[in-house]
Amino acid sequence: MKAKIAILPGDGVGPEIVAEAVKVLDAVARRFGHDFEMMELPVGGAAYDTCGDCLPETTLAACQTADAILLGAVGGPKWDALPPEKRPERRALLGLRAKLGLFANLRPAKVWDALTEASPLKNGIVARGIDLLIVRELTGGAYFGEKRRAADGKSACDTTPYSEREILRVARVAFAAARTRGEGRAPARPCGEGRAPARPCREGRAPARPPKVTSVDKANVLETSRLWRETVTALHASEYSDVELEHMYVDNAAMQLVRDPSRFDVILTENMFGDILSDEASQITGSIGMLPSASLGDARGGLYEPIHGSAPDIAGKGIANPIATILSAAMMLRHSLGLAAEADAVDRAVSDTLAAGVRTQDIALGNDHAAVSTSEMGNAISGALLRT
Ligand code: IPM
Ligand code: MG
């Protein structure tokens, strides 16, 4: 197939890790006979330095017409002093999410067989299995609500608006994802059919248990959470009663994630809670360098990025783990391009590479081998992909 992919390396470790994911996409194209047209575009602080804008018009326009977008990371100390609305995080990342209508953020977290040692949790907890999917609402809540600072600078407020419509559409994605994970390895319909990505495809291993959605809120305190809970409950009763639904307060969810993560299948939550819980989920699986994400809307052209940031402390050293970005590219193949076999091949190449003991420094704990560099990891994974 032919596909147009917008490549946005961005800042910090972004260019290093994206280069490895591009290597893997090239290997996929070679092995499966596809034609991926990859257009590299400036974004974030790097774009600010060259064009005076963290999200140049040309970058946005190319993203709007691409079949999918692969993003590294944006931001860094160099641009921290910019006015809030010009900063890379607000202008580029939140800007892309909002302008492209990417309201559903899928963040799968699982422990890879070869990496159980890297999890900070006790063996007994890890052995019960960790394989969950966080569905985070991505274009509402405090991130996009009205913000104010008093004239004297000494008081401030951020509002957290949510509408029933916003809750319904992301809740549908979570229930559909739970169903698809429960269906096992064969999705009910081909992934990517009609390019309607808001019904996500299976990610990773399907759990043996019945599908379950845990909706996370703070309904004992917040009015938006009460609306969230009512809306999810009503949707479940009318359209998804085959899926198990439970509600959980966010503080309890944070605790259960370290106490017994095996109890979770799909976690559905609002923007800010999802940001926090997904960092926590990444740590229990071993490293934040392993977690990919897909941001989907109603239209074509999802955005795929690792959940970690630009990591300026290790940028340019060639030691960042590119796996989260490579797995994000696999999610892109699955969700936006309808290439499930290719996505499985990338997942397998990552798994084989880890099984062979290849480790970047963040996941080297308990491993006999010396840590490899970012590009050595990319070479190993694309090599494994071309061999199998
Ligand atoms: C993430 C990041 C972003 C977020 C930041 C960089 C604005 O932490 O994608 O999780 O909070 O959404
Ligand atoms: Mg985050």
What is the chain's mean pLDDT, rounded? 93
Give the CA count within 13 Å in the CB-facing half-sphere of 242.
Answer: 9
Residue nearest to atom 4 of ligand 1 (CA): 275
CA geometry: angle 55, 60, 62, nearest 5 deg: 135
8 A C-beta contact, residue 113 and residue 355: yes
For residue 92, what is the DSSP state? Answer: I
Select the more confidently predicted residue: 118 or 375: 375
Ranking 141-155, 170-184, 188-202, 239-253 by mean pLDDT, the lowest is: 188-202
Select the more confidently predicted residue: 183 or 169: 169
pLDDT digit string, tens, across residues 33-92? 999 999 999 999 999 999 999 999 999 999 999 999 999 999 999 999 999 999 999 999
Supply the pLDDT for residue 300: 81
pLDDT digit string, tens, across residues 324-365? 999 999 999 999 999 999 999 999 999 999 999 999 999 997
Contacts of 226 (CB under 8 A, 6+ apart): 219
Q: Centre a 10 Å sphere on the Cβ of residue 208 and count the other Cβ atoms it contains.
A: 8
Supply the pLDDT for residue 286: 87
Ranking 148-152, 313-317, 351-355, 366-370 by mean pLDDT, the lowest is: 366-370
Question: What separation in Å is there between the alpha carbon of 105 and the centre of ligand 2?
Answer: 11
pLDDT digit string, tens, across residues 195-218? 444 545 555 444 467 899 999 999
User: Is the CB of residue 305 below 6 angstroms from any atom belonging to ligand 1?
Assistant: no
Question: What separation in Å is there between the alpha carbon of 241 and the centre of ligand 2?
Answer: 31
Supply the pLDDT for residue 205: 47
Question: What separation in Å is there between the alpha carbon of 276 and the centre of ligand 2?
Answer: 6
User: Is the CB of residue 137 below 6 angstroms from any atom belonging to ligand 1?
Assistant: no
Q: Which residue is it, tokens 């109603």?
A: 298
8 A C-beta contact, residue 348 and residue 31: no
Residue nearest to atom 6 of ligand 1 (CA): 89
CA geometry: angle 364, 370, 372, nearest 5 deg: 80
Select the more confidently predicted residue: 207 or 101: 101
Residue nearest to atom 12 of ligand 1 (CA): 275
CA dihedral 271, 277, 279, 280 (to 10 degrees): 170
- Which one of the ligands is nearest to 272 CA? 1
User: How many angstroms separate the CA atoms of 254 and 37, rounded?
Assistant: 41
Closest CA to 113 of 350, 373, 339, 383: 350
Distances (CA, A) of 297 to 98, 100, 171, 210, 363: 10, 7, 13, 26, 33
Supply the pLDDT for residue 209: 73
Instruction: Tell me what the mean pLDDT of segment 295-323 comes to.
Output: 96
User: Helix (H, G, I), strand (E, B), or coil: what is residue 155?
Assistant: coil
Tally of residues, the chain: 388
pLDDT digit string, tens, across residues 153-162? 999 999 999 9
For the annotated catalytic residues, the residue numbers are 143, 218, 251, 275, 279
pLDDT digit string, tens, across residues 254-280? 999 999 999 999 999 999 999 999 999
Cα torsion 283, 281, 106, 330: sign? positive
Q: Centre a 10 Å sphere on the Cβ of residue 359 and count the other Cβ atoms it contains.
A: 24
